[in-house]
Protein backbone atom coordinates (compact mmCIF):
# COMPACT_ATOMS: atom_id res chain seq x y z
CA UNK A 1 0.00 0.00 0.00
CA UNK A 2 1.37 3.40 -0.95
CA UNK A 3 1.55 6.26 1.55
CA UNK A 4 0.35 9.81 0.83
CA UNK A 5 0.94 12.33 3.62
CA UNK A 6 -0.73 15.70 4.04
CA UNK A 7 0.03 18.71 6.22
CA UNK A 8 -3.02 19.74 8.24
CA UNK A 9 -2.18 23.43 7.81
CA UNK A 10 -2.05 22.95 4.03
CA UNK A 11 -5.30 21.00 4.13
CA UNK A 12 -6.96 23.98 5.79
CA UNK A 13 -5.83 26.05 2.80
CA UNK A 14 -7.60 23.72 0.39
CA UNK A 15 -5.89 20.37 -0.01
CA UNK A 16 -8.59 18.77 2.14
CA UNK A 17 -10.44 18.09 -1.13
CA UNK A 18 -7.47 16.17 -2.53
CA UNK A 19 -7.15 14.24 0.72
CA UNK A 20 -10.85 13.32 0.59
CA UNK A 21 -10.57 11.98 -2.97
CA UNK A 22 -7.43 9.96 -2.32
CA UNK A 23 -8.45 8.61 1.08
CA UNK A 24 -11.39 6.84 -0.56
CA UNK A 25 -8.96 4.69 -2.58
CA UNK A 26 -8.35 1.23 -1.16
CA UNK A 27 -4.78 1.06 -2.52
CA UNK A 28 -3.59 4.13 -0.61
CA UNK A 29 -2.93 4.99 3.00
CA UNK A 30 -3.60 8.72 3.42
CA UNK A 31 -2.41 10.36 6.61
CA UNK A 32 -2.64 13.94 7.77
CA UNK A 33 -0.12 15.38 10.19
CA UNK A 34 -0.35 18.58 12.15
CA UNK A 35 2.84 19.67 10.39
CA UNK A 36 5.24 18.06 7.91
CA UNK A 37 7.99 20.67 8.46
CA UNK A 38 7.65 22.06 4.93
CA UNK A 39 6.46 25.49 6.07
CA UNK A 40 8.03 27.49 3.24
CA UNK A 41 6.31 25.35 0.64
CA UNK A 42 3.12 25.07 2.67
CA UNK A 43 2.66 28.83 2.74
CA UNK A 44 2.93 29.08 -1.06
CA UNK A 45 1.52 25.94 -2.70
CA UNK A 46 -0.68 22.90 -2.38
CA UNK A 47 1.45 19.84 -1.63
CA UNK A 48 1.57 16.31 -0.30
CA UNK A 49 4.24 13.70 0.27
CA UNK A 50 3.94 10.59 -1.90
CA UNK A 51 6.10 7.80 -0.53
CA UNK A 52 8.19 10.51 1.18
CA UNK A 53 8.67 12.64 -1.94
CA UNK A 54 7.15 16.12 -2.21
CA UNK A 55 4.55 16.65 -4.91
CA UNK A 56 3.36 20.26 -5.23
CA UNK A 57 1.15 22.36 -7.47
CA UNK A 58 -0.48 25.77 -7.64
CA UNK A 59 -4.00 24.40 -7.19
CA UNK A 60 -5.82 21.29 -6.00
CA UNK A 61 -6.75 20.05 -9.46
CA UNK A 62 -3.13 20.07 -10.58
CA UNK A 63 -2.00 18.55 -7.28
CA UNK A 64 -4.38 15.62 -7.67
CA UNK A 65 -3.21 15.09 -11.27
CA UNK A 66 0.45 15.18 -10.24
CA UNK A 67 -0.11 12.81 -7.32
CA UNK A 68 -1.92 10.33 -9.55
CA UNK A 69 0.87 10.57 -12.13
CA UNK A 70 3.46 9.95 -9.39
CA UNK A 71 1.49 6.93 -8.16
CA UNK A 72 1.33 5.57 -11.71
CA UNK A 73 5.11 5.93 -12.05
CA UNK A 74 5.58 4.06 -8.79
CA UNK A 75 3.33 1.27 -10.09
CA UNK A 76 5.30 1.11 -13.35
CA UNK A 77 8.61 0.95 -11.48
CA UNK A 78 7.27 -1.85 -9.29
CA UNK A 79 6.01 -3.77 -12.32
CA UNK A 80 9.34 -3.43 -14.11
CA UNK A 81 11.26 -4.58 -11.06
CA UNK A 82 9.21 -7.70 -10.42
CA UNK A 83 8.07 -8.71 -13.89
CA UNK A 84 11.54 -8.84 -15.45
CA UNK A 85 12.56 -12.22 -14.04
23-79 pLDDT tens trace: 999 999 999 999 999 999 999 999 999 999 999 999 999 999 999 999 999 987 766
Categorize the per-residue pLDDT at 84 as very low, low, confident or very high, splitting at 50, 70 and 90.
low
Collect all residues with Cβ–Cβ distance below 8 Å to 29 and sequence separation of at least 6: 1, 2, 3, 4
pTM beyond cutoff 0.85: yes
Residue 27 belongs to domain spanning: 2-83
What residues contact residue 64 under an 8 Å CB cut-off, 6+ apart? 18, 21, 22
pLDDT of 45: 97
The confidence score (pLDDT) of residue 78 equals 63
Count of domains observed in the chain: 1
Amino acid sequence: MKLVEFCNANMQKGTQQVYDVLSSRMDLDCVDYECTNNCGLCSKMAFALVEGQIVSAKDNTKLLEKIEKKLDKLDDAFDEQYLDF
